[in-house]
Amino acid sequence: MADSKFDICSRALVLVSANTITSFNDNNTESKVANQLYESTLKNLLTRCRWRFATKQQQLSRDTTAPTARYDAKYPLPADALVINTVTISDNVITYDRYENEIYCDATSTDIVVADYTFRPNEADFPPYFTSALVFELASLFAGAIARNDSLSQLYQSRAVVAMAQAKSQDSQAQTTRRVEVDRFRNRRNTGAMTVKATVQS
């Protein structure tokens, strides 16, 4: 069964010998502190790097109002975008600027502009390696805010740093595996095409 936000908070609370929670509305200190810290801590971790599991691509819709200067066009950001990683036209990365909730770039009316961005997934979609890093990060904060133990806070902050490094490594390996599989498929396809061509010529 996948962890909920309350399960994740409870795992962190246990590490600092605090009470677990079943909601953010429990009438206790743990629930109030968790409610204040959870979402901001989660989004902080999500925006530290380009997590594969938290990345989307979406074609952007051109704003009918042109920018006043510098760029040719502007595009509203996807509603769930936390960070824009890249913007492409025909798979080519382009230069852009972000102003408020819009992307400004040079593009024609027929160009297909696609944003690669980080979003906030549901907890059920968190990989175990990311959940572990999040738990240690929360434990570090809970140790200071609830347990009032600076030494414990520093301990879990150190563990959070290690867990984050491991999580980034595991997350990046997922892309490597997919790339290898794609390359193998292309090689098989090309080999098959060459075999067919040779057969026809013979």
Going along the chain from its start, the domains and CATH numbers come out as 5-49+135-192 (no CATH), 52-118 (2.60.40)
Cα–Cα distance measured from residue 162 to residue 133, given in angstroms and rounded to the nearest whole number: 8
Given this model, what pLDDT does residue 2 score?
Answer: 77
Amino acid at 174: A
Given this model, what pLDDT does residue 117 score?
Answer: 97
Give the model's confidence band at 175: pLDDT under 50 very low, under 70 low, under 90 confident, else very high: low
Higher pLDDT among residues 68 and 83, named by residue? 83
Tokens of 128: 């175990």
What integer is the mean pLDDT of 143-161?
Answer: 97
Given this model, what pLDDT does residue 173 score?
Answer: 87
Residue in 15, 6, 5, 1 with CA at minimum distance from that of residue 136? 15
Distances from the Cα of 169 to the Cα of 165, 166, 175, angstroms = 6, 5, 11
What integer is the mean pLDDT of 120-128?
Answer: 97
Cα–Cα distance measured from residue 161 to residue 157, given in angstroms and rounded to the nearest whole number: 6
Instruction: Decide if pLDDT at 199 tops 60.
Output: no
Amino acid at 154: Q
Residue in 3, 12, 16 with CA at minimum distance from that of residue 41? 12
Distances from the Cα of 198 to the Cα of 177, 189, 193, 195, angstroms = 31, 14, 9, 5
**Contact indicator for 120, 154 with CB cutoff of 8 Å:** no
3-state secondary structure 142-157: HHHHCCCCHHHHHHHH
Mean pLDDT of the chain: 89
